A and B are shown apart, each in its own frame.
Chain A
Amino acid sequence: MDLIRFYVRKLFTVLKNEVIVLPSRVVVVVFFLFLLLLPVFTNNQYTLRIFTLTCIFAILAASWDLLSGFTGQINFGHALFFGVGAYAAAMSNLHVHLPPWASIPLGGLVAVLAGLIIGIPCLRLRGTYLALTTLAFPIILMGFVFAFPDLTGGELGISGIERIARSRVTNYYIVAGLMFGLCTIMWKITDSNTGIIFHAIREDELAVRASGVNTTRYKLLAFCLSGFFAGIAGGLYAHFMRIAGPSTLEVSMSFLVVIWAVFGGVATIYGPVGAVFILFPLLEFLRFWQEYRTLMFACVLIVILLYMPDGLFPWLRDKIETECPRCKIRNIATRTVCRVCSASLE
C-alpha cells in the first residue's frame, strides 16, 4: 500500500515539477492521452484507420530522421526499407505461416540486412551523391519484384495475409503502443552516447574520425537501426493493409518520408512524428474538396516552409520555450527568470 502511495506521490511530483513547467512536455502528455483515449471518444472505424496508419508512418518518418537527420546521411530511398519489411513480413506470413508478432520483427531484421547491403557500398559516398544514389535502390528492387512475379506477385503484390488483430480498436492500440515504444527507443538512442556520435558525424565527420571514433561503423549502425525501425513499420503496414505490393517501393513513398521528416524538423525524432500526425490526417481532411486535395497539400507545404524553413516543430518550440543562457535548461517563454538557476532570460 505504501509502495503504491509512494509511486502515486512520485508521479504527482514529476508531473508538477517536470511536466507542467514546460509546454512541450505538456503537449507530449496530452498527445499521449489523446492517443490512449481516442477509441473511447470515437468508435468510428475510419478515424481509427487513419490514426493507425498515421502511427505506422510516424515510425517510418522517425526512422528516417534517426538515419538522415542525425548522421546527415540523406537517404532518398527510404521506401526500400519499408518495402523490404512489408514484403518480408508478407511472405513469411503467407508461405511460412508465421504469426504477425513474429513476421513483423522478421520484416525488421530483413530490412536491417537491406540496410547493410546498401550501407556498405554507400559508405564512401557523401552528401548529395549519397542522396541520389539511395534513390536508385528501391527502383532496382522494384525491377526484381517484377522479374520474379511467382515469388512477389508482380504488380499485384502479396495479398491475403493475416490481420494484426481482429478488431480495429485492438489493431489501433497495438500499433499506437508500438509507435510510442519504438519512437521512445529511437529518442533514447539519439540521446545516448551513440546518438551524440551520430550528431557529431553530421556536423564534422573528419573531426570525429580524428578523435579516434570508427565513423564507418557508426554510419553502418545508423543504417541498420533505421532499417530495422522502417522495416517494422513496413511489416505493420503489410499486416494492416493485408497486402504488400510494389507501391510500397515507389519513388513517391520515398519522397513522402522526406517531406514528413523535413516538414517536422530534422534531428528531433518528435518533429517527424508530429509532422505525420499533422500531414497525414490533413490529406484526409482535405477530402471535402477532393479534386484540389493534393494541390492544396503541396501549397500548404510550400507556404509553411517559406516561413519555417527549419521545420514546424523546432520553430514552434522556439516560440513557446527559451533556453536559459546560463544553465541550458529550457523554460516556458512567458518566464522572465530561469526556473532552475534564476538567471534572467531576457
Chain B
Amino acid sequence: MKKPLVSIIVIVIVIVGVALIYYATRPPEVVPTIKIGVIGPMQYVQGIGHWNGATMAADEINAAGGIQVGEKKMNIELVQADSNEFINITDATNAMERLITNDKVDFIVGGFRTEAVLPMQDIAMENKKIFIGVGAAHNELCLRVAKDYDTYKYFFRGSPFNSSFLGRTSFIHLGTVAAIMKMTLNIPKIKVAIAAEKAMWTEPMIEAAEGVIPKMGMELVGVWRPSPIATDVTAELSAIQRSGAHIIFTVFSSSVGIPFARQAGELKIPAVQVGINVEAQKDGFSQATQEMGNYVATLNTYCRSVEYNELTKPFVDGYVERFGETPTYTADTYTAIKYALAPTIEKAGTLDADALVAILENASYMVPSGKVEYLKDAEGNHLHELRWGPGYLTSLGVQWQDGELKSFWPNKWKAVPEAPEVTYKGIVPYKIPPWVVDAYKQ
C-alpha cells in the first residue's frame, strides 16, 4: 500500500513542477500586433475604468484598420493585468513584471495606488518600456524623470495632472463658490473649514490652502483630518458646524468621501462642500450616499453633456453607451492609447521606445479633456508632466444636482485678468443647497 502512494505523490510533484516552469518560461507567441498592457485593480472601479477606456481605444483603432507602423498596418492587442494593488503591493509588481517579460507587451498604461506605482514604474523603466501612468497624481513620479532622465524617460503622466495643479484648480473652485455664496447670501466674510484625509498627498495641499485662503479674503476656521477609511465622521461634522464654517474645503481620495458627504447631507450641516472628493466623481456616488450627497461639488475630468472640444462628445457618449457609466479619470487610458501612443507610433514609424519618447515629449495634441503638452522643470529638464491651464487641460468643477452630475466650472473663467474667458459647452450655474440658504438668509 505504501509504494503507490509515494510514487503518486512524486509524480504529482514532478508534473506540477514541470507545468510551473513551462508556464513561467513558455516561448511567447509571435503575432504582428502592438501589445499594450493595461494594469490596474481590476475588481475595483479604478481598474474597471482602466480596462474600459483601453478596450474602447483599441476597438476604435482596430476598426479603423490599425496603426500604420512604417510599411505595415498593425492592430492593437490589449493584455489585462490585475494588479490587486489595494490589497498587495508585491502582487502589483509581479503583475507588471509578468506583463513585460511573459506577455511581451510593448507599452503599459494604468496604475493607481502611488505606493504600488512607484515600484511598478521602476520595473517598466528597467525594461525600457513606455509606461503611461493613469491614476496616480503624485509629483514624485515625474520628478524622477527630471532627476534621472536616462532611466525614467519612458514614464509619462496620462492623467490626472499632478497634485499641485489639482490643488490650484480646487482653490479656483473654492473662490468661485465663495463668490457665489457671498453674493447670494450677503455674507460679509466667508469662513472655510478644511476637511482633508490623513494622507501624505494632502499635506502640501493643506499647507497651500492655509496660505491661500486668507489671501482670497476668507477666514480659515480649522483643519480636520479624518482617517482615509473612516466610516463615521459625525464628530468632525459637529465640530465643523460649531466652527461656523460656510464652506467645507474637502480633500478626499478614499472611501471617507462617502460617509462625509452622506452624513453632512443627512445632518443638514449648513456649509457647502467643494474641493476634491474622488468618490463623488463616480456615478455610484448617489447610491453610495443614499442620495444624501446631493449638492456636493468636486473637481472632475468628465461630465455628461459638457464638451471641452469636439473630441469630448464622441468619447463620453460612446463610453456611456457602451459601459453604462460616465468615464472617470482612470478611463483616460483611452486618451493614452488613442491620442498619445497611436499618433506617435505612426509618426515615428517604429515601436522603438527611445524614438517614441523623443517624439512624444515634444508633442502637443488634442484630447477629449483639452490639449496635452508636457512640461519641463525650471532647469529645462523634461518632466513628462501634463501642462495645466486655459487652452490646455483644466478639468471641470462638477456638482451633484438632483441625482445628476452637472458641471459649474469653468464659467467665464479668467486665469489672469488679461486672459480670454473660458467657458465650456454645457456648463450650468452652481446651486447652493436649500438648507444652507435657509441657514444664512437674512
Residues of A bordering B, CB below 8 Å: 41-42, 44-47, 49-50, 53, 146, 149, 153-157, 159-160, 241-243, 245-247, 252, 281, 283-285, 287-288, 290-291, 293-294, 316, 319-320, 333-334
Chain B, 71-95, CB within 8 A of any chain A CB: 80-82, 84, 87-91, 93-95
**Closest 4 CB pairs between A and B?**
A154-B200, A46-B101, A245-B115, A47-B24
- Known interface pairs A49-B97, A53-B90, A247-B115; A155-B199 also in contact (CB < 8 Å): yes
B30 at the interface (CB under 8 A from A): no
Q: Are B24 and A44 in contact (CB under 8 A)?
A: yes
Q: Are B127 and A45 in contact (CB under 8 A)?
A: yes
Q: Are A155 and B200 in contact (CB under 8 A)?
A: yes
Q: Are B200 and A334 in contact (CB under 8 A)?
A: no
B43 at the interface (CB under 8 A from A): yes
Count of chain B residues with Cβ under 8 Å from any Cβ of A?
44
Task: Name which residue of chain A comes closest to B138, CB basis.
Answer: A156
- Known interface pairs A53-B90, A284-B94; A156-B25 also in contact (CB < 8 Å): no
B10 shortest CB reach to chain A, Å: 9
Q: Are B140 and A53 in contact (CB under 8 A)?
A: no
**The residue from B20, B43, B98, B119 contacting A243, defined by CB atoms under 8 A apart:** B119
Q: Are B114 and A155 in contact (CB under 8 A)?
A: yes
Contacts of A155 in B (CB 8 A): 114-115, 199-201, 228
Q: Which of B87, B115, B144 has the most CB of A within 10 A?
A: B115
- Known interface pairs A146-B198, A155-B200, A159-B140; A44-B102 also in contact (CB < 8 Å): yes
Contacts of B90 in A (CB 8 A): 53, 241
Given A47-B25, A157-B115, A287-B95, 13 new contacts (CB under 8 A): A44-B24, A46-B101, A154-B199, A156-B115, A243-B115, A245-B89, A247-B89, A247-B115, A284-B94, A290-B81, A294-B84, A320-B6, A334-B2
Residues of B bordering A, CB below 8 Å: 2-3, 5-6, 9, 20-21, 23-25, 42-43, 80-82, 84, 87-91, 93-95, 97-98, 100-102, 114-115, 118-119, 122, 127, 138, 140, 144, 198-201, 203, 228
- Known interface pairs A156-B138, A157-B115, A160-B144; A333-B2 also in contact (CB < 8 Å): yes
**The residue from A160, A288, A316 contacting B9, defined by CB atoms under 8 A apart:** A316
Q: Are B119 and A241 in contact (CB under 8 A)?
A: yes
Contacts of B21 in A (CB 8 A): 41-42, 47
Instruction: Give the docked Cα–Cα distance between A243 and B119 (Å).
Output: 7
Q: Which of A155, A241, A333 has the most CB of B within 10 A?
A: A155
Q: Are A44 and B25 in contact (CB under 8 A)?
A: yes
Instruction: Give the docked Cα–Cα distance between A157 and B6 (Å).
Output: 48
Instruction: Give the docked Cα–Cα distance between A125 and B24 (Å).
Output: 46
- Known interface pairs A42-B25, A284-B94; A247-B88 also in contact (CB < 8 Å): yes
Q: Are B6 and A156 in contact (CB under 8 A)?
A: no
Task: Name which residue of chain B comes closest to A333, CB basis.
Answer: B2
Instruction: Give the docked Cα–Cα distance between A252 and B91 (Å).
Output: 13
